[in-house]
Amino acid sequence: MLRSWAQALRQAVQSITRSGLMSLASLATVSVSLLVLAVVACVAVNLNLMARELESQLEIRAFLRDGVNPAARQALIEQIQALEGVRSVTFISKEEGLAMMRERLGEQRWILEELEENPLPDSLKIELADPHQVVAVAEKVAAFPQVEKVRYGQGVAEKLLAVTRAIRIAGLAMVLLLMVATVFTLANTIRLAVEARRREIAIMKLVGATDWFIRRPFVMAGILLGMVGAALAAGLVYMGYQYLVRFLVTNLPFVPVAPPAELMQPLGSGLLALGALLGMVGSWISLRRYLRV
Amino acid sequence: MLRSWAQALRQAVQSITRSGLMSLASLATVSVSLLVLAVVACVAVNLNLMARELESQLEIRAFLRDGVNPAARQALIEQIQALEGVRSVTFISKEEGLAMMRERLGEQRWILEELEENPLPDSLKIELADPHQVVAVAEKVAAFPQVEKVRYGQGVAEKLLAVTRAIRIAGLAMVLLLMVATVFTLANTIRLAVEARRREIAIMKLVGATDWFIRRPFVMAGILLGMVGAALAAGLVYMGYQYLVRFLVTNLPFVPVAPPAELMQPLGSGLLALGALLGMVGSWISLRRYLRV
Amino acid sequence: MVRFVNVTKIYPGQTKPSLQGINLEIDRGEFVFIVGPSGAGKSTLTRLIYREELPTSGQVWVGGINVAKLKRSQVPYFRRTLGVVFQDFKLLPDRTVFENVAFALEVTDASRREILRRVPAALELVGMRDKANQRAQELSGGEQQRVAVARAIVRNPSLVIADEPTGNLDPENAWQIMRLLLNINQMGTTVIVATHAREMVDALRKRVVALENGTIVRDEERGVYGYA
Amino acid sequence: MVRFVNVTKIYPGQTKPSLQGINLEIDRGEFVFIVGPSGAGKSTLTRLIYREELPTSGQVWVGGINVAKLKRSQVPYFRRTLGVVFQDFKLLPDRTVFENVAFALEVTDASRREILRRVPAALELVGMRDKANQRAQELSGGEQQRVAVARAIVRNPSLVIADEPTGNLDPENAWQIMRLLLNINQMGTTVIVATHAREMVDALRKRVVALENGTIVRDEERGVYGYA
Ligand SMILES: Nc1ncnc2c1ncn2[C@@H]1O[C@H](COP(=O)(O)OP(=O)(O)OP(=O)(O)O)[C@@H](O)[C@H]1O
Ligand SMILES: Nc1ncnc2c1ncn2[C@@H]1O[C@H](COP(=O)(O)OP(=O)(O)OP(=O)(O)O)[C@@H](O)[C@H]1O
Ligand SMILES: [Mg+2]
Ligand SMILES: [Mg+2]
């Protein structure tokens, strides 16, 4: 049994190297498919990350009335913290508020340079455990007597959530579509290889080869092709992604990116496994109708 | 001659329909390739548009000293307008400045609600004909005595330009890479079709068929496959793009998008022409080595 | 060994039967010639035996097995008990002569040692040992035919079916192949030969089954070719 | 019509020449048998005539043309003047009998009307008119051979080369094909037939060129097959 597997592997390698050009073509097709798949996966992961980041920035700002003393403030904080869906509550003094605004305005902080005194009130920053509850929490917070005004980017919140959802769905749809396209391409690649050896398969059957004997080298070849193609794709994506991350970190430091090492390790092994699986399934399917002799 | 073309067309259609599954596979491959190509093209066009939009927003703001009278102001405007690289100069009074800031801050305009008096000076908005000259122009403007301060997002300008350039180059590289991949896939698809009829071609040669006679149906089939594949890809992209644009316009109105009609018309005819060309070149190449009998 | 019971064969898409009402019994150890004009149904009859085709009606029994009743997974093991020389050889064009013959052993998962022992012996018998490393597509028609015969006998089958095994051979080589088939027949193997080689049929006086238009018109012990 | 001058042919990768020092002249209107044992070089000799292969050294002249000197673009037009029956038939398996024969006319851009006139006539001559719409892969070996002959003669070539045109045929059909070749020879066509059919060669007493091991060992007017 072991011997015959080794033999099938030898045959697979032989059949791949013998039909050099055709194997190259298959390899290229698999690589391109998986490459696109990998790129989409990278984009999706990062869009997801961005969406999460955007979502997590969905915070509620509660401005306090003048003259709320520290004790009343502390009581309020505890009450808010007890609300459902609230992750954390942070006190921001008027001075901290101005400093944060200055930072947020970045190059345009000159707007604030013209101010003669701090116009901002004290406030609380409320971060949410579940961004979808922003409206409900904000309404409850506004009902406290110590709170003068509540801000949470009304309207923006809903839009942001819609965009996030759309991005996730679109990403998933693209990945699925490309998965199907990849399976299709791979199965057809192998089917064409089988087609080229149709005569040989028919002869094998006639001299008494079992289906499994005939299938083995094709399945092995399929797996090999799938894995080599996946490795190529993974390599290219790794290089490209590293370059991109380096570029983004240098030029757009405020854009959140998934770190290459963390993303690439599961992506690489995933691609390899997927390549092998696709090659196996593809070759298995491709052979079905040729075995009926 | 005409008759024989018609015959070749008939043969091409026949050969496509006869080898149903294989033709379907080719079609799918061509479609997927051209689809990716088209998607990349769409993305590139829109990134380009965005980059252009961002670039065009690279404007210089010159803040005037207190007490510059309207006449002196007018003289200054004319002098700046005369500088190389300047497209337009607009006066913005302190009130207009505050209104614009309020608008720009959007949901966060409450920052300004706390202000008791307008802290902004009068200013000039200088738009540039060539965004690359932003630094040079800003320095010249700062030298005028009526100007107190110049703002143009130092640092941001350079970064934005770098990002724009990177986006363009990456987009072009992706399109080129995919062009090559598409040609490759198509040529191999046809080569496999030729491979499947290798025996037939050898026999044709032996009974006295000219190279051109043998080539004709393959070239026609290649062109047909390329064009049908392109049409499929164009249709899918058109639908997808329209959906996307509708989504963006509704949810992210501030993101600039190329209008579907304007983008799709050249893209569609481009894809068709490209499909035909690729099919023709692909089949031509594929046949070369089989004609030597 | 082989028994046809009321067999009719109509190929899909055809209206005229290629075989009709065939009843035939061939005993273990017999040597039978199948003769008949071109298109009479000789190849079809052999195809039914090794189950390349199934009968449209009737039964074909080979070694006690009803071939139509064989499970798909058993067919390979059934075929391994037979040796077949196909009319169009069915060699793998880009494999060498050795590989083509070894092939019949490899599919049975035979050991390397067994392959190295049996293949050269079979090639020796058909006179192709010196061309062992030439590719099948580089052989002359007659040489291909001899390789096909070598492949059929290399597994020592209990039944050998040869469809026109000497059609591309000069008389000398043809006689050599025929003597080979007679030899293995003498060692107990059942041999069925479809042929047009009148001279040989007439000279050997073996059993002759004559087909015409898909039916058996003659079945004689020690028969002759019997056509013009 | 055909002249070999000192022709040697060594296939790429081989060391032993398949033909060596061949000198042969065949006049317009002749009928010539090429005989010899399997592997002697008969098919190789025919392949040199229709330029499937080029001689390794020496010259092959056909109808006043040195085939090795033909430009690539002229080869098709040269081949159209010949009719060839290949030893392995070389039919298109998934085309019908009619299409296979029509094929030889289509490549010359013949008109539809001409195709409809000539193809049925050629099929009639080889007795395959009633199977015109059957696919080549569904034919018996002998039927395929007859279609191959029909395709070779359908263009009314001035030279017909037939490699083993009766190998898969019963004697009656074989004689019919041979009579056909004799007929077209009588109408002025040069005919070259490579064959193992001893009976026919001996009966017809035409010119016989005998090959052995790649060289001509005998060339007789009104010869006989002359092997065991
Ligand atoms: N394509 C090829 N490459 C290498 N060697 C070849 C090729 N074709 C034929 N040969 C060799 O050349 C020799 C002559 O072959 P050829 O086909 O001419 O013989 P033949 O006389 O037609 O035999 P047969 O009667 O068996 O058809 C043989 O030994 C064969 O092995
Ligand atoms: N696969 C097929 N599909 C349809 N018809 C077929 C098929 N194979 C054979 N036939 C038809 O069945 C009949 C018998 O064919 P078969 O091959 O058995 O003849 P044969 O006796 O072997 O002839 P030959 O001596 O010429 O080889 C022929 O008329 C042929 O056209
Ligand atoms: Mg037959
Ligand atoms: Mg030959």
- Asked whether residue B63 falls in the same domain as residue B120, the answer is yes
Task: Judge whether B253 lies within some domain.
Answer: yes
Task: Judge whether A80 lies within some domain.
Answer: yes
List, in order, residues 6 or more apart from D76 with CB less than 8 Å away.
B205, B208, B209, B210, B211, B213, D107
- Residue C116 reports pLDDT greater than 60: yes
- Asked whether residue B100 falls in the same domain as residue B32, the answer is no
Q: Of the candidates A102, A123, A151, which is a domain's last residue?
A: A151
Judging contacts by C-beta atoms under 8 Å, the chain C residues touching residue D87 are 141, 168
- What is the overall mean pLDDT for chain D? 93
* Cβ neighbour number for residue C130 with a 10 Å cutoff: 11
Q: What would the mean pLDDT of B214-228 be, rounded to a whole number?
A: 84
Asked if C116 and C175 touch (Cβ cutoff 8 Å), the reply is no
Q: Which residue has the higher pLDDT, C173 or A21?
A: C173
Q: Which chains touch C (3 or more CB pairs under 8 A)?
A: A, D
- Residue B255 reports pLDDT greater than 70: no
D87 lines ligand 1 (CB under 6 A): yes
Asked if C61 and C8 touch (Cβ cutoff 8 Å), the reply is no
Tokens of A108: 């345009």
- Asked whether residue A145 falls in the same domain as residue A208, the answer is no
pLDDT of residue D155: 93
pLDDT of residue D84: 95
Asked whether the beta carbons of residue B114 and residue A120 sit closer than 8 angstroms, the reply is yes
Residue length, chain D?
228
pLDDT of residue A149: 81
Residue length, chain C?
228
Neighbours of ion ligand 4 (CB under 5 A): C 140-141; D 43, 87
Asked if B293 and D52 touch (Cβ cutoff 8 Å), the reply is yes
Q: Which chains touch A (3 or more CB pairs under 8 A)?
A: B, C
- Asked whether residue B46 falls in the same domain as residue B63, the answer is no
- What is the overall mean pLDDT for chain B? 75
- What is the overall mean pLDDT for chain C? 93
pLDDT digits (tens, 9 = 90+) for A170-222: 666 666 666 666 666 666 667 666 777 778 888 888 989 888 888 888 888 88
| Beta bridge partner(s), residue D32 | D192, D207
Task: Judge whether A229 lies within some domain.
Answer: yes
Tokens of A199: 């005569």
Q: Which residue has the higher pLDDT, D218 or B73?
A: D218
Q: Distances in Å between the alpha carbon of A32 and those of A226, B29, B189, C149, D224? A: 11, 11, 15, 47, 66
A:173-232 residues touching chain B, CB 8 A cutoff = 181, 184-185, 188, 191-192, 195-196
Asked if B281 and B187 touch (Cβ cutoff 8 Å), the reply is yes
User: What's the domain count of chain A?
Assistant: 2
Q: Ligand 2, from C4, C9, C10, C11: best to mutate by most atoms within 8 Å of Cβ?
A: C11
- Asked whether residue A173 falls in the same domain as residue A287, the answer is yes
Kindly give the interhelix angle for A20-56 and B20-56, rounded to the nearest 10 degrees.
Answer: 40
Element (H, E) at C226: none
Q: Which of the four pLDDT bands, split at 50, 70 and 90, describes residue A107?
A: low
For chain C, the straight-line distance linking the first and the last C-alpha, in angstroms and rounded, comes to 32
Q: Ligand 1, from D8, D9, D11, D216: best to mutate by most atoms within 8 Å of Cβ?
A: D11
pLDDT of residue B1: 46
Q: Per mean pLDDT, which of A258-272, B20-34, B83-97, D72-86 is the most reliable?
A: D72-86
D140 lines ligand 2 (CB under 6 A): yes
Q: Which residue has the higher pLDDT, A257 or C62?
A: C62
- Residue D42 reports pLDDT greater than 70: yes
Percentages helix, strand, coil for chain B, rounded to the nearest 5?
A: 75, 10, 15
Q: What would the mean pLDDT of D176-192 be, rounded to a whole number?
A: 93
- Residue A160 reports pLDDT greater than 80: no
Q: Per mean pLDDT, which of A96-110, B80-94, B191-205, D74-88 is the most reliable?
A: D74-88
Q: Which of the four pLDDT bands, split at 50, 70 and 90, describes residue A1?
A: very low
Asked if A138 and A115 touch (Cβ cutoff 8 Å), the reply is no
C143 lines ligand 1 (CB under 6 A): yes
pLDDT of residue B267: 87
Asked if D176 and D154 touch (Cβ cutoff 8 Å), the reply is no
C20 lines ligand 2 (CB under 6 A): no
pLDDT of residue C161: 96
- Asked whether residue B117 falls in the same domain as residue B221, the answer is no
- Asked whether residue A145 falls in the same domain as residue A84, the answer is yes
Task: Judge whether A45 lies within some domain.
Answer: yes
Q: Which of the four pLDDT bands, split at 50, 70 and 90, describes residue A161?
A: low
Per-position DSSP letters for chain A, written without gaps between them: -HHHHHHHHHHHHHHHHHTHHHHHHHHHHHHHHHHHHHHHHHHHHHHHHHHHHHHHT-EEEEEEPTT--HHHHHHHHHHHHTSTTEEEEEEE-HHHHHHHHHHHHGGGTHHHHT-SS--PPPEEEEEESSGGGHHHHHHHHHTSTTEEEEES-TTHHHHHHHHHHHHHHHHHHHHHHHHHHHHHHHHHHHHHHHHHTHHHHHHHHHTT--HHHHHHHHHHHHHHHHHHHHHHHHHHHHHHHHHHHHHHHHH-TTS----HHHHHHHHHHHHHHHHHHHHHHHHHHHHGGGS--
- Residue B257 reports pLDDT greater than 70: yes
Task: Judge whether A190 lies within some domain.
Answer: yes
Task: Tell me which of B32, B107, B175, B194 to substitute to probe the interface with A (most A C-beta atoms closer than 10 Å).
Answer: B32
Task: Judge whether A240 lies within some domain.
Answer: yes
CA C175/CA B275 separation, integer angstroms: 61
For chain A, the straight-line distance linking the first and the last C-alpha, in angstroms and rounded, comes to 25
pLDDT of residue B85: 82
pLDDT digits (tens, 9 = 90+) for C130-177: 999 999 999 998 899 999 999 999 999 999 999 999 988 898 889 989
Element (H, E) at D206: none
A139 burial via Cβ count (<10 Å: 0-12, 13-18, 19+): exposed
Sign of the CA dihedral running C144, C145, C150, C155: positive
Q: Which of the four pLDDT bands, split at 50, 70 and 90, describes residue B168?
A: low
- Asked whether residue A227 falls in the same domain as residue A254, the answer is yes
Task: Tell me which of B206, B207, B214, B291 to substitute to probe the interface with D (most D C-beta atoms closer than 10 Å).
Answer: B207
Q: Per mean pLDDT, which of A172-176, B136-140, C23-27, C224-228 is the most reliable?
A: C23-27
Judged by its nearest atom, the ligand closest to the C-alpha of residue C163 is 3
D227 lines ligand 1 (CB under 6 A): no
Q: Of the candidates B151, B186, B202, which is a domain's last residue?
A: B151
Classify residue B106 by its DSSP letter. G
For chain D, the straight-line distance linking the first and the last C-alpha, in angstroms and rounded, comes to 32
pLDDT digits (tens, 9 = 90+) for B20-76: 555 566 676 677 777 777 777 777 677 667 666 666 666 788 888 887 888 888 888
pLDDT of residue A238: 87
CA D128/CA D143 separation, integer angstroms: 7
Q: Which residue has the higher pLDDT, B101 or A261?
A: A261
- Nearest CB partner across the interface for D141, out of C88, C174, C225: C88
Asked whether the beta carbons of residue D52 and residue B206 sit closer than 8 angstroms, the reply is yes
Q: Per mean pLDDT, which of A85-94, A166-175, B51-60, C41-50 is the most reliable?
A: C41-50
Tokens of A63: 């401005």
ipTM for the whole predicted complex goes beyond 0.85? no
3-state class (DSSP) for residue C197? coil
CA B35/CA B25 separation, integer angstroms: 15
Task: Judge whether A159 lies within some domain.
Answer: no
Task: Judge whether A161 lies within some domain.
Answer: no
Lowest mean pLDDT among B42-46, B144-148, C95-99: B42-46
CA A194/CA A196 separation, integer angstroms: 5
- Nearest CB partner across the interface for C109, out of A4, A200, A203: A4
pLDDT digits (tens, 9 = 90+) for A270-292: 889 988 887 888 778 777 767 76
- Asked whether residue A192 falls in the same domain as residue A275, the answer is yes
| Beta bridge partner(s), residue C4 | C24, C60
Q: Locate the ligand 2 atom nearest the alpha carbon of residue D142 and give its number.
A: 26
D35 lines ligand 1 (CB under 6 A): no
- Residue C113 reports pLDDT greater than 80: yes
- Asked whether residue A70 falls in the same domain as residue A23, the answer is no
pLDDT digits (tens, 9 = 90+) for A43-56: 767 766 766 666 66
3-state class (DSSP) for residue D102? helix
- Asked whether residue A287 falls in the same domain as residue A178, the answer is yes
pLDDT of residue A4: 65
C138 lines ligand 1 (CB under 6 A): yes
CA A70/CA A76 separation, integer angstroms: 10
Residue in A147, A140, A136, A124 with CA at minimum distance from that of residue A66 = A147
Q: Of the candidates A86, A121, A151, which is a domain's last residue?
A: A151
- Asked whether residue B238 falls in the same domain as residue B105, the answer is no
Q: Locate the ligand 1 atom nearest the alpha carbon of residue C173 and give its number.
A: 26
Asked if C27 and D128 touch (Cβ cutoff 8 Å), the reply is no
- Residue D36 reports pLDDT greater than 80: yes
Q: Ligand 2, from C8, C44, C54, C209: best to mutate by most atoms within 8 Å of Cβ?
A: C44
Enclosing domain of residue A139: 59-151
Question: What CATH number does the domain containing B129 carry?
Answer: 3.30.70.3040
* Cβ neighbour number for residue B27 with a 10 Å cutoff: 18
Q: Which of the four pLDDT bands, split at 50, 70 and 90, describes residue D30?
A: very high
